[in-house]
Chains A and B, each alone.
Chain A
Amino acid sequence: MKKQTYWNRVQLDRVKRVAINLFLGFHIVFMACWCLPLDSQWLTLSRNFVRPYFVWAGLFQSWNTFAPTPWSANSYLEAIVVYQDGSRQIWSFPRMEQLGLSERYFKERYRKFSENLQNDKNDALWPDVARYIARANSTAANPAKTIILIQVSSVIVPSSEGSYRPEPWDQHVLYGYGVKREDLQ
């Protein structure tokens, strides 16, 4: 009886070890395939194979901060809020360079979010953002009627001797949104 229990434990340990090895091998291979920026048909196939699991479990990853090309422009987002009574005001996303040290720690997510919003690939986010700005800037007496998202940017150009002189700021309309009554509830 005692001998049988011992062998059962040995068997169980062996099965456990095989399962762990499979787990390790699978994750090492596919994590590497997922995040290394190599162009190969095999890698694309492996990413597609593992995508449902990685996306579900939260194992997706990308390590391309400031790469391959770092941002070469200073930019921020503003919104023109046009009110029902015809008046307007400029609303701006928190800008890190205008905040104090501790505030920057708390508000850094706005820099990241604003950076992502300026990418045309993420244009599906713009209506939600316009609605948020409308809610934040409306009063019952004077609700927001239109929100216009504007990207303000200034390219960073090294001078011939390598120093930096700020370039003029450009404005570019990203998106206009007509606010509906239900957006403000």
Chain B
Amino acid sequence: MIMRSFTAAWNRFFFAEQSPTPIALFRIAYGTSVIATLWLLHPDWLAWYGTHAWTSLPTMQALEPGRRLNLFTVIPQSDPWINRLFWVFLVSAILLTVGFLTRINSAIVFLCLTSIQQRNLFITHGGDTFLRLAGFFLIFAPAGAALSVDRLIRIWRGKQGTFLRPRSPWAQRMIQIQLALLYFASFCWKLKGPAWLQGTALFYIYHLDGLKRFPVPAWLLHPTMLKVGSWSAIALEFSLGVLIWVKDLRYILLALGLLFHLSLEYSLNIPMFQWDILSAYILFVDPADITRAWERLRGCASGKNGKPLASVQV
């Protein structure tokens, strides 16, 4: 009986067909994050990954042994080739974002992303890791089924109507599980640290000169507030890891998570980390709510201009 209800719940969760709009929106946010990461890295492509980089390929292989998906071990070790790899990566990320040859480009983006991280693991942060993991599952998702050039081409060729066919969301669920796991693992790590349990952790973090971005009001740096902040971070990470699966709590937690990441974006200098993580929040939004929001937007726009927006389903 238990087994049967588990199987039914499993099938509903992973295979009950739904609109591909959330995964398509995620594809756009994900692609934008990858493009921004590459753009920020651009001045130092060769400094980090070139033939005379800060860490050489043999050193990296000695420090992190094992067979790895890494294009740097395949392409000729010359700076022009390494530059070419980055341009291919960038073009592919742009094509993924607009949804052209989506499946192929998601595979290329994942391969390039994992390669640059394997080439130098000492400059990556959690946001990069999340992009890599989400990129792996994105390959299997129907990410080009909506809001994409691929879809427009299919409609134009008459292979598809304007109706958006629901798809099985198992790959999307894996990205959601990965995000929840990220929060839950962070929560577990923090429980192992006395500074977090005593509530002094944020005191150290907010006094690290290299991490400061914009000034934080003095009252927020008061020991009591820092204690409340440290414990709230632990509680929120637990909630975003576990309680996010409770439907009634989901939007409240997403709003709190958004606030949490935006406050970190304001105060700490960890470029792209918050945006990389926030990009996956869209996957937790009910497709029906996205449709409702879209309809409302259309209503507003048509109200203003006197004519409706495109009638193709997103």
Binding site for B on A (CB under 8 A): 17, 20-21, 24, 27-28, 31-32, 35-38, 51-52, 55-59, 61-72, 74, 76, 95-97, 101, 104-106, 108-109, 111-113, 116-117, 122, 124-125, 127-129, 132, 135, 156, 158, 161-162, 164
Contacts and interface: CB of A to CB of B under 8 A. Distances in A.
17 contacts: A56-B67, A58-B68, A58-B118, A58-B132, A61-B182, A68-B192, A70-B204, A72-B204, A96-B210, A96-B211, A101-B213, A108-B40, A109-B41, A112-B124, A132-B53, A162-B226, A164-B203
A24 B269 contact: no
Interface stretch (B26-34, B93-101, B159-167, B170-178): B170-178
Contacts of A128: 53-56, 59
Contacts of A117: 122
Contacts of B18: none
Given A70-B204, A125-B55, A132-B53, A112 B125 contact: yes
Nearest to B55: A128
B61 to A, nearest CB: 11
A105 B271 contact: yes
A76 to B, nearest CB: 7
A57 B136 contact: yes
Contacts of A162: 203, 222-223, 226
Given A67-B186, A104-B271, A52 B66 contact: yes
B205 interface: yes
A125 B195 contact: no
Contacts of A31: 177-178, 181
B54 A70 contact: no
